[in-house]
A and B are shown apart, each in its own frame.
Chain A
Amino acid sequence: MSRIDREDVERVARLARLRLSDEEAAEMTADLDRILGYVDLLEEVSTEGVEPTAHVIPLATPLRDDVPAEELPPEVAVANAPASEGTAFAVPKVLDDEAEG
């Protein structure tokens, strides 16, 4: 039984903003299916009542003072940009079906 099919891979690729060729999609589906098949190994272990570990640091997040520090000069901020206009980054016009969120 396959764990993941082509349609799943294409859905996930859209979420991740990756465009896959037919060949890539087929390969990725096969690879992910194998990897997820291996991962099923975890089902052997009873994890009931086990707290998940998100982090090994047993501390609280540090808090920073609310004091402004050095900022990037605007021309440095956009220095690596593939396209910019003044000190703003430029991207192709947002289309109607690409609205936020």
Chain B
Amino acid sequence: MPSPLGEVARLREALTSGETTSSRLVDAALAAAEAVGEDLSVFTHLRHEAAREAAAAADARLSAGRARSVLDGLPIALKDNIVQAGEPAGCASRILEGYVSPFDATAVARLLEAGAIPIGRTNMDEFAMGSSTENSVHGPTRNPWDRDRSPGGSSGGSAAAVAADIVPLALGSDTGGSIRQPASLCGVVGMKPTYGRVSRWGLVAFASSLDQIGPFAHTAADCAVLLDAMSGHDAHDSTSLPEPPLQTAAGLNGDLSGRVIGLPREYYEAEGADASSLECVHAAVAALEGAGAKTVPVSLPHTRYAIAAYYLIANAEASSNLARFDGVRYGHRAAGASGLTDLYERSRSEGFGAEVKRRILLGTYVLSAGYYDAYYRRAQKLRTLLRRDFEAAFESCDVLVTPTTPEPAFRLGERADDPLTMYLSDVYTVSANLAGLPGVSIPCGLAGGGLAAGLPVGLQVLGPPLADAAVLEVADAYQRLTDHHQARPGGSR
């Protein structure tokens, strides 16, 4: 019995009954992307013709009764770092200007196979480095709830596209919270699967040992449908788990009885956390308990070191991953270079933005001779300790429930000059990446007071490795109990 909350299921019915067509859905999505999307800088590229052609083909299949899957004919948005053959993949960077990918990411190929229709590519922080979608060569994306605020990042475009109801579904990537944090700030559901669940083939690498592709939607049920379609072993990715595709959507039954939910102390006691947001989270916990879940206090004692370890590891990997952008085979090349070194230095200096340069420098530094042990290796050891924290915590509970972020959406520009403060806003999300855990953020209300009044608050559900189904089940059960996912910018739907 699938969850009653699925937008996918509702659209499926409308398509089957002839109430709408794929072409109408895609046209509406493209129109909204041009109107609302342009105002908010949600998309970096739209596929008008290709999407319409795909919709016509989907309609032909539907009318012949040969739908490929529940996703057949539904519009979807792709983050600009997930490649699709024949489409630009710019990663919101000048260095990839004009680049067109000759191949599909595995996740995209599987969604195309299922009949989903990518309508365009969404804005992001350059190479997914950021938490605000301000570090983009296309300019910042605005939060649909308040256009002066950030949608979060780095998958801010995809979160905003769903929040503004431009598309029902979108893909993002999460390296330290880049799906869950913008989902939280935009009032939508965003999920980071267990590391290795979704192939990274075709995801432009930021930090290879942390990156995962994941879904955005209004409900956990819809995220489950997308995850099921994308997941499963892929021989193109050596870090892909040898597991069959997930079948989580069918298992969502709303039942919380017997579930043990851990509440990690360190996530509720952070200094400077927004009190009104925390109230929403506590209310959510109470609702889960009311529906039969049991809660237990747990501790993740190394939490306070997670950000430091994360930035060392992620940027070390990034400094190497971004070496391929050299102006030789694709992307931006500085004009009139004299010699190779000049070509490299000028192309890369012109092509990368300030935050990317900062991270490349940091990553290069911590890997360089004499510093490796002090920084990189030490960070990897902290990673071990963080994993052990989670292993210990999951001995006494099935999932963890926490706030997704310390605060709701912040103002654009507010943290732009302060990289460290920006980094610290990922405090609740980075650990899941370091430990490879599945995590989902779901809307749990609107902040009640203070400067952030009326902005969405996110609740994070984390599970042990491979427990993707469990986190989605808890998230779905919560959404059945409440209607926060119905809230829309400018009033309830």
Contact = CB atoms under 8 A, between A and B. Distances in A.
Direct contact of A and B (CB under 8 A): yes
Interface of A: 4, 8-9, 11-13, 15-20, 24, 28, 31-32, 34-36, 38-39, 41-45, 47, 50-57, 59, 61-62, 64, 72, 76, 78-83, 89, 91-95, 98
6 contacts: A15-B368, A16-B360, A18-B349, A35-B419, A62-B242, A91-B340
A45 B305 contact: yes
A96 to B, nearest CB: 10
Q: Which of A19, A44, A81, A83 has the most CB of B within 10 A?
A: A19
Contacts of B383: 52-53
B341 interface: yes
Contact of B362 (A32, A44, A52, A91): A32
Nearest to A34: B420
Interface stretch (B39-47, B273-281, B308-316): B308-316
Interface in B87-105: 98-100, 102
Nearest to A59: B242
Interface residues of B, number: 70
Given A57-B239, A92-B337, A92-B339, A16 B304 contact: no
A54 B84 CA distance: 29
B48 interface: no
Contacts of A52: 377, 380-381, 383-384
Interface of B: 98-100, 102, 195-196, 209, 235, 238-239, 241-242, 302, 304-305, 307-309, 311-312, 319, 323, 326-333, 337-346, 348-349, 352, 354, 357-358, 360-362, 364-365, 368, 375, 377-385, 387, 419-420, 423, 434-436, 465
A38 B99 CA distance: 37
Contact of A41 (B304, B339, B341, B419): B304
B83 to A, nearest CB: 12
Q: Which of B330, B344, B365, B434 has the most CB of A within 10 A?
A: B365
Contact of B319 (A16, A38, A43, A95): A16
Contact of B382 (A35, A47, A64): A47
B45 to A, nearest CB: 16
A81 B380 contact: no
Given A47-B381, A53-B387, A57-B436, A15 B364 contact: yes
B388 to A, nearest CB: 9
Contact of A72 (B102, B304, B358, B385): B102
A64 B240 CA distance: 13
A26 to B, nearest CB: 13
Contacts of A42: 305, 308-309, 378-379, 382
B235 A98 contact: no
B379 A18 contact: no
B410 to A, nearest CB: 19
B348 A39 contact: no
A36 B332 CA distance: 31
A95 B339 contact: yes
A31 B417 CA distance: 10
Q: Which of B242, B327, B340 has the most CB of A within 10 A?
A: B340
Given A12-B368, A57-B241, A82 B385 contact: no
Contacts of B375: 36, 39
A13 B361 contact: yes
Nearest to B240: A62
Contacts of A57: 195-196, 239, 241, 436
B238 A18 contact: no
Given A17-B348, A34-B420, A64-B235, A41 B328 contact: no
Given A39-B308, A52-B377, A55-B239, A81 B330 contact: yes
A18 B325 CA distance: 11
Q: Which 7 A-B pairs have the closest CB atoms?
A: A56-B436, A52-B380, A80-B330, A82-B333, A47-B381, A17-B344, A19-B345
